[in-house]
Amino acid sequence: MKIKIVSVGNKPPKWVSESLTPYTTRIKQQCSLEWVEIKSETKFDSIFQKRRQEASKLLNYTKDTYLIALDENGLQYSSKEFSEKISSWIENFPSITFIIGGADGLDSSITNLSSANLSLSKMTLPHHLVKIFLAEQIYRSLSILNNHPYHRE
C-alpha cells in the first residue's frame, strides 16, 4: 500500500522535520510513504484566486488514488475509528493521498473531488502541526491494525 501526503506551504522549519522523522520512519516500515510539498502562491489578487492556483497544482496528485482532503468541515474520528477507515482504504485502494491545504485552506474543487473530507479538530491548527498530527495518527492507526502496543486505551 502507498500513502502520499501532499501539502501546500513553505519549507518547514527544522523542528517540524525532526518531529516528523520518527513517524515517517515507523510508517515506512509498514507501507510506502511519500511527502510532497507544494509552494504557497505568492502572487494573487484574492484568497479565492490563491486557492484556485494552489488547487491547480494539487490536481496533479489526485489521479488513481483514494483522495482525502483535510478540511475543517470534514468528518472527525477517534483514533480507533480512523484506524478502521485506514483499514478499509487499504483493502480497497492501492494508494491513498491526504491533501493538506495552505494557510488559506483548500479550494472547493479539491474538497468536492475528494473521496473523503477529514477534520483533525474543530480548532484551527497551525499548518506544520497538522502534518505532525496526521503522521502520528497514521502511525497510530497502523499500530492498532497490527496489534502493536503503541496505542493504549
Say if 13 falls within a structural domain.
yes
Give the span between the Cα atoms of 65 and 144, in whole angstroms: 23
Q: Is the pTM of this model over 0.85?
A: yes
Say if 76 falls within a structural domain.
yes
Say if 151 falls within a structural domain.
no
Say if 104 falls within a structural domain.
yes
Say if 153 falls within a structural domain.
no
Backbone φ and ψ for 67, nearest 5 degrees, come out as -100, 125
Q: How confident is the model at residue 152 (pLDDT cuts 50, 70, 90)?
A: confident
What's the pLDDT tens digit per position in 35-50? Answer: 999 998 888 889 999 9
For residue 24, what are the domain limits? 2-145
What's the pLDDT tens digit per position in 77-126? Answer: 999 999 999 999 999 999 999 999 988 899 999 999 999 999 999 998 88
Backbone φ and ψ for 135, nearest 5 degrees, come out as -60, -45
Q: What is the largest CA-CA distance in the chain?
A: 50
Q: For position 13, what pLDDT does the model report?
A: 92
Write the CATH number for 13. Answer: 3.40.1280.10
* Number of domains observed in the structure of the chain: 1
Which of 30, 31, 32 has its CA nearest to residue 148? 30
Q: In Å, what is the CA distance from 120 to each residue of 69, 72, 79, 94, 151?
A: 11, 8, 10, 24, 18
Say if 150 falls within a structural domain.
no
Q: Three cell numbers at 19?
A: 518531529
- Is the pLDDT at 153 greater than 80, yes or no? no
Say if 128 falls within a structural domain.
yes
Say if 152 falls within a structural domain.
no
